[in-house]
Structure 1
Amino acid sequence: MSLKPIDPETALDFYLADRQAELSQATLYSHSSRLGHFLRWCDQEDIENLNDLSGRQLHLYRLWRRNEGDLRPVSEKTQMDTLRVFIRWLESIEGVERDLSTKVQSPTLAPTENTRDVMLDAEHAESILTYLEKYEYATLAHVSIALMWHTMMRIGAVHALDVDDYHSDDRYVVVSHRPKTGTPIKNKERGERMVALSDQICELLDDWIADRRPSVCDDHGRQPLLATHYGRVSKSVLRDYVYQWTRPCTYGIPCPHNRDPAECPATDRDHASSCPSSVSPHAIRRGSITHYLHKEIPEKAVSDRANVTQRVIDKHYDRRTEREKMEQRRRYLDGF
């Protein structure tokens, strides 16, 4: 095979452009971020033409990234698997030697290592929402976190909602994939759905829209449901709200880490994610899914509401113990 010279930066630009049609913006960003480390390494090693890349160099990159990033096995596997996909794509455009992708090694994980257990449990979620309802009622933070917990939505879906997507009288919201106007959602059209809301959430949304929501449009002339005075709230701000309000000290729980709040750096809003007890938006989603499963909502109903397959729920979201599952099955079967 006759290779055609290509530098790392150009290769990554071509790769991302080629995959844009098939990957969500969030996934593209993740690939760009992971492969950005590979570009840094290439620059450090003076690799200017990927035609010269070898299996030994890929192994050296893996060791460099593991040590430089202090990566856990799960993170290392994710990064190396993305690199393998990138190298395989390079093979298709004659940028690297044939079958080089087979030389990209990544850790083999035990089944328990391939899932994340971090979640916001129902008790803490209720404590947070009770505090917000009393002291921060119908603020943007309150509305955002309540919506995430109640609907099990991904942060991208919550971010994408417009005022017109909310139907107060019939108590539901419509989740839509609108990439041309800045709000793509995971799973694209397959992620579009109607999500039922409780009376309590509708009352909160009604009060937010009537009294607290800034009367603004986004850059595309749409009226975002979750808005600041500058337009649609950013996903980074939504993440910050979650990190801030899942710190136990913010909702009246004594610090479980025996820290002095006056000296703890995590009490600074900009460093809230450094609190060992704070969690990400995905942990809210995982906790909410588990909560509804505990309440014996059928898995199919949870799956459709959360826009996730039952297989993925079983592998990545369901945190019930095997005994809890058995007892729930027992209650179903006792009458037969």
Structure 2
Amino acid sequence: MQRVRPDATEGDGVTEAPDLSPREARDRWLDKLRVQLREQTVSTYKYRLKLFVEWCESEGYESMRDLSGWDIESYEAHRRSAEPKTISLKNEMQTLRRWFEYLASIGVVEDSLADSVIVPDVPQDHQSNDARLDHHEATALLSYYRETPAQYGTRNHVLLELAWHTGARIGGLRSLDVRDVRCHEFENERDPAYYVEFRNRPEEGTPLKNGPSASRPVALLPEVYAVVDHYLEERRPDKTDDYGRQPLLVSQRGRPSPGTIRDWMYLATLPCNYGPCPHEKEPETCDYTRYSHASKCPSSRSPHKVRTGAITWMRNRGVPVEVVAERVNASVEVIQKHYDVEDPLEEMLNRRASFVSDLSIDPEDTES
């Protein structure tokens, strides 16, 4: 229903914006964003507003016009009671404010409503990229790389896929040669076995941390193998290292140094790759997107933190601890001590799952 503005004169045709429910108002904004943003970015905004829309519906708010500053304060208190991460709450409130600013610009809500949204400050220790790569973030990143033709099978994509799905250390990733990517065909009708072979080659400059005992094959999902295969066929530069070997991951000089791989991983995990910047920066002008500055982004992750997140994710997916230990070349004791399953309910639900098929990336995980 449209209403005539109080200051409008009869017959001038000026009307107020219609009453919109919270869900309708959200969808209208998202439709507008789709014109200029990637669908993955729009999905991120949708997820951030999901809890607010559901709260409004549970509290009986049928129109955005019914909301006041007190209601926004009540919602924030409601969210804080759930004890979310400070950075998560900050992102939610920033998105809420942007949404209200848009709605105010088209007359759906009062201008003052956006001002009532208080975006919390994030303490410096919460802004550090020392935290592990969360599986929701990993899913969003890998979905972005897989669904973006210009990024599919790039070096950064291959690096992140292998680091996440194998849980390998930086030395293991650096040690891989083209010949270490394998596909084993069976004589019967069984599906092929895809895997990478980590080999300890200290005499050729690529020792593994735990020496010969670290040499092992690690199974890959077909979709992960497909990414690596595309990279080998279409994108990998034809270069060798000082020993005449063909490194899988290649720099301009051949086999990359550990520091170079670390820089690549920081670039590969920048959050603006798949969604809006959580630090209110524009990617086009942000120094964090530059090669030598990506490590300074509070939300980028080092190879070790990707490994930490991957191991925790494998455990949470119900993969037996002995299997995880073998895949990532760590002891069962270390896995149990440092990578405990966080959610007992999730642990119970996933006990029956087989380990390799559970390592698929599902884009819907970002909506969990």
TM value normalised by structure 1: 0.59
Q: Tell me if 1:300 matches 2:350.
A: no
Residue 164 of structure 1: aligned partner:
179
**Do the aligned partners of residues 228 and 168 (structure 1) sit closer, same or farther apart at CA in structure 2, a change above 3 Å counting?**
farther
Question: What is the one-letter code of the residue matched to 1:138?
Answer: G
In structure 2, how many angstroms separate the alpha carbons of the residues matched to 1:149 and 1:327? 20
Per the TM alignment, residue 326 of structure 1 is displaced from its structure 2 partner at its CA by: 6.0
Q: Contact conserved, 1:173 with 1:195, CA < 8 A, in 2?
A: yes
Q: Is it true that 1:235 corresponds to 2:253 in the alignment?
A: no
Post-superposition offset of 1:200: 0.7
Question: In the alignment, is the contact (CA less than 8 A) between 1:168 and 1:206 conserved in 2?
Answer: no
Match for residue 174 of structure 1? 197
Q: Residue 209 in 1 paired to residue 223 in 2?
A: no
Q: CA deviation at 1:255?
A: 2.4
SS of residue matched to 1:228: coil
* d(CA) in 2 for partners of 1:150, 1:202: 11
- The list of structure 1 runs, each at least 4 consecutive aligned residues, that deviate by more than 6 angstroms after superposition, is none
Counterpart contact for 1:248–1:255, Cα < 8 Å = yes
Q: Structure 1 CA distance, aligned partners of 2:336 and 2:134? A: 17
Unaligned runs of 5+ in 2: 1-128, 185-192, 353-368
Correspondence for 2:297? 275
Q: Which residue of 2 aligns with 1:289?
A: 311
CA 1:212 to 1:258, structure 2 compared with 1: closer, same or farther past 3 Å?
Answer: closer
One-letter code aligned to 2:141: I
Deviation at 1:259, TM superposition (A): 3.9
C-alpha displacement of 1:235:
2.1
What residue number does 1:88 align with? none
Q: CA deviation at 1:165?
A: 1.5
Q: CA shift at 1:315, angstroms? A: 2.5
Alpha carbons of structure 1 residues 287 and 331: separation in structure 2 relative to 1, 3 Å: closer
Partner of 1:198 in structure 2?
A: 221
Relative to 1, partners in 2 of residues 1:219 and 1:331: Cα closer, same or farther, differing over 3 Å?
closer
**Percent identity among equivalent residues?**
41
In 1: Cα distance, 2:297 partner to 2:348 partner: 38
Show CA shifts across 1:282-325 (max 9, x none). Answer: 1111111111111111111111111111221123333x32xx23
Q: Give the drift of 1:267.
A: 3.2
- Given candidates 124, 131, 135, the residue that maps to 1:122 is 135
Q: Is the 8 A contact 1:293 1:299 kept in 2?
A: yes
* Letter in structure 2 aligned against 1:125: A
1:147-162 matches, cutoff 5 A: 147-162=162-177
SS at match of 1:218: coil
Structure 1 residues 262 and 174: alpha-carbon distance in aligned structure 2, compared to 1, 3 A threshold: closer
Matches within 5 A, 1:58-207: 118-133=131-146, 134=148, 135-169=150-184, 170-207=193-230
Flag the 1:264–1:164 CA change in 2: closer, same or farther, 3 A. closer
Q: Deviations over 1:101-160 (max 9, x none)?
A: xxxxxxxxxxxxxxx972111111111112222131111111111111111111110110
Q: Distance in 1 between matches of 2:351 and 2:229?
A: 38
- Between Structure 1 and Structure 2, how many residues are aligned? 214
- Displacement, 1:233? 2.6
State the TM-score, normalizing by the size of structure 2.
0.54
Question: Secondary structure of the residue that 2:197 maps to in structure 1?
Answer: strand
Amino acid of the residue matched to residue 308 of structure 2? R
